[in-house]
Amino acid sequence: MEVVRHRLWQITEEMAITLRNVSGSPTVKEASDFNVGIMTPDSKMVTMGSYVTIHATVLPTIIQHIASVYGDDVSEGDMFIANDPYKGALHQLDVAVVAPFFYEGRLSAWTGVVAHEVDIGAMQPGAPSGASETYQEGLRIPSLKIVNKGVLKKDVLDMILSNVRQPGLVGLDIKARIATNNTARNRLESLFRRYSSETANSMMNQLIQISETRLRQRLRELPDGNFPQNDYIDHDGNTSHIYTVKLQLTKKNDSLTFDFTGSDGQAKGPINCTISGTWAGVMGAVLPFLCYDIPWNHGVLHPISVIAPEGSVVNSIPPAPVGLASTAASFAVRNAATLAISRMLGSSDKYWQRAGAVWEGGKATPLTSGEDQYGQRFSFPFQSSGGAGGMAYKDGFDSSFSMSPTKPSMPNVEAAEAFAPILFLYHRLAMDSGGAGKFRGGLACEYAFIRHKSSSVQVSGGGHGSEVPASQGIYGGYPGGCMLRAIRRKTNIRSMLKAGRIPASLEELDGEGEDFPSKISPKEFADDSVFYCRHNAGGGYGDPLEREVDSVLHDALNGFVSPRAASAIYGVSVDLVGKEVDKQKTSVLRAEISEERRRKATDTDTPTFLISGRNDGSARLGESLRPSKNEKSSVECAGCGNGVWSLGGKNLAIKFLEAELSEGGLMYPKRSRALLRQFLCPSCGRLLDSELILRQ
């Protein structure tokens, strides 16, 4: 069984290698924005590639649609192309090619690949942030035969390429997908020939059953309970409205229900996702947090239910636009699921170390387009990286990408400059961007570039997290720093470069500055302009005042945390010259911060998520609470032992304070419609947890 499982996994790896070798797209070769999979004859995922997980979860849905349309008209050598988000895809830019695998004349499996295209012929290059209906978002292919019995259907290919801005690149990518499925067919033939069709299919189904059994066993070890969590999407491309994604995770015995009832209605702009995107977001959290040692296949879907009301931002209906689904609503679903699952894990004596904050909760990828240095039309997304969320036992990884790509690939600056008419001034880690905590969030990348050897370049982009932090912290950890995209126009950059000087920040330049909202409609990018981008960093885990002082010193000496943040947020006095911590000043600073919290705090209604998921006999209720031995209280602060919750279900002592995001550091907006609500123990001032709320 293990031999066959590893053989199947190796086939998906070879599929990925084929795709990258044939494709000419920077999103595939540089950013690894794709995935591959092998499915059973009835479309159940057997094994997926270790790339962007949210891509692979949609392949079974696409195959189900093909089966419903074509019925028995599926032959050996056929391949189908699809990208309709209302038929299984995430958005039109994620184009899939799937193929039936026949052995000895019988349908024995399906193979598939889905990858992000640079253009699909929308009203503007990429995913138009200002779309108001899906018809503006490019060619929508429910499912078409692109290969008929081994012969490429040139009419279908020509139809697709006549609707895109870069037919050469898109055409090569489609052929790369075909080559990927050809590789899978050849390797599966070898596998079936060695083990026989009956044995191979039986083992595929057994692998699915094994994964289901193992996940159900793990769920039975975790506490039952309800775990609520909200996440937000700022700006829909057409309006500045902030949308709420509302989740209630219910764990009962060996099953999980993700209920998104109460989420906002579908948006006027392209941030919505279909039910495929909601499932993709849920599994984007389930797989790494609960199935890290369980083979990823259809079996892990069986214990899970998803409830998403039709017509909502997490289950839109036509003609709602969904062009930014994969980095908007689907991301918000994954973020909420991440925190809800982590609160469940945090209440477990066995699995508490697996809890963590949100990883890069929103993408900030800018899209440049226009005429390149070779005189050709181009569109190019530079997919740099945010940071990982802090975990229960360690800091988040710096420049980690989001959680979805398990094999992230940092784009190469030189390759980007070869593909697009841009020249980078810098590309580095952003100081103070990681969410503060006992274990801080990973730092995000920041970069700046100028136009180079072109007379016509525009900049646009989707994403979210510029006003409301996209990477929330947990158990008192601060949110990761917000994304920021800005432009400085009419600068002196050319004269600076001519003099041999490279600016280290926009502040060193003359000119007029503009900060963009989360969605950017195409903006002209002049020869004297400089574009700047900072991605969303990871959220923090635990109270920043509990961070080891040596870790704060290490971060300060390496430029990860500024002395100002070390003092104001972590309460640590660092001496960069002497490379040491002033322990006496640090003790005073931390006492002052704790006292200031208690002074500002007020009484609160019960924050139910703090107490959710209590498991009889458990010694944990998250990072900061524990069952009490006191006869009058059932829950106490893990820091000082003060009782905060009564046996009768009454709040005894938990207090809260609401802070402007800007009070948490320089990486948050000066003005925001969101506040950081922090819950604390009034006895010792320890942060028990926190949440983002919208101003009333």
pLDDT tens digits, 436-483: 999 999 999 999 999 999 999 999 999 899 999 999 999 999 999 999
What pLDDT is stored for residue 634 in this prediction?
80
What pLDDT is stored for residue 293 in this prediction?
96
What pLDDT is stored for residue 558 in this prediction?
97
Higher per-residue pLDDT: 437 or 57: 437
**What is the torsion angle, in degrees rounded to the nearest 10, for the CA atoms of residue 302, residue 305, residue 311 and residue 315?**
-50
Q: How many CA atoms lie within 13 A of 243 on its CB side?
A: 30
Residue 56: pLDDT above 90? no
Which pLDDT band, with edges at 50, 70 and 90, does 627 fall under? confident
What pLDDT is stored for residue 615 in this prediction?
47
What pLDDT is stored for residue 285 in this prediction?
96
pLDDT tens digits, 174-210: 999 999 999 999 999 999 999 999 999 999 999 999 9
Residue 127: pLDDT above 60? yes
The DSSP secondary-structure symbol of 561 reads: S
3-state secondary structure 467-490: CCCCCCCECCCCCCCCCEEEEEEC
Which of 282, 280, 338 is closest to 60 using CA atoms? 280
Q: Tokens representing 605?
A: 């209604």
Q: Is 424 exposed, middle or buried, given 0-12, 13-18 or 19+ CB atoms closer than 10 A? A: middle
d(CA 695, CA 625): 28
Q: Which residues of 15-39 are buried (b: 16+ CB within 10 A; e: fewer)?
A: bbebbbebbbbbbbbbbbbbbbbbb
Once rounded to an integer, what is the mean pLDDT over residues 53-77?
92
Which pLDDT band, with edges at 50, 70 and 90, does 611 fall under? low
Which of 563, 503, 461, 412 is closest to 125 using CA atoms? 461
To 10 degrees, what angle do helices 329-346 and 275-290 make? 30
Once rounded to an integer, what is the mean pLDDT over residues 318-337?
96
d(CA 445, CA 460): 19
Is the sign of the CA dihedral 145, 151, 153, 158 positive or negative? Answer: positive
Which of 365, 576, 342, 310 is closest to 437 using CA atoms? 342
pLDDT tens digits, 532-563: 999 999 999 999 999 999 999 999 999 999 99
d(CA 184, CA 201): 16
Look up the pTM and report it. Answer: 0.96
What pLDDT is stored for residue 674 in this prediction?
95
CB contact at 8 A, 588 and 315: no
CB contact at 8 A, 446 and 410: no
Q: For the chain, give the number of residues.
A: 696
Once rounded to an integer, what is the mean pLDDT over residues 42-59?
89
Q: How many CA atoms lie within 13 A of 29 on its CB side?
A: 16
Query: CA angle, 146 as apex, 140 and 151 as ends, to 5°?
Result: 170
Report the chain's mean pLDDT, rounded to a whole number. Answer: 93
What pLDDT is stored for residue 534 in this prediction?
97
Residue 426, CA distances (Å) to 413, 417, 443, 494 in order: 9, 12, 16, 15
pLDDT tens digits, 583-606: 999 999 999 999 999 999 988 765
What pLDDT is stored for residue 408 in this prediction?
77
Which of 137, 142, 134, 173 is closest to 157 using CA atoms? 173
What pLDDT is stored for residue 610 in this prediction?
60
Residue 614: pLDDT above 80? no
d(CA 439, CA 392): 7
Once rounded to an integer, what is the mean pLDDT over residues 664-678?
88
Residue 618: pLDDT above 80? no
Q: Is 603 helix (H, G, I), strand (E, B) or coil?
A: strand
Residue 432, CA distances (Å) to 75, 278, 436 in order: 57, 32, 8
Q: Tokens representing 319?
A: 């003609």
d(CA 469, CA 516): 15
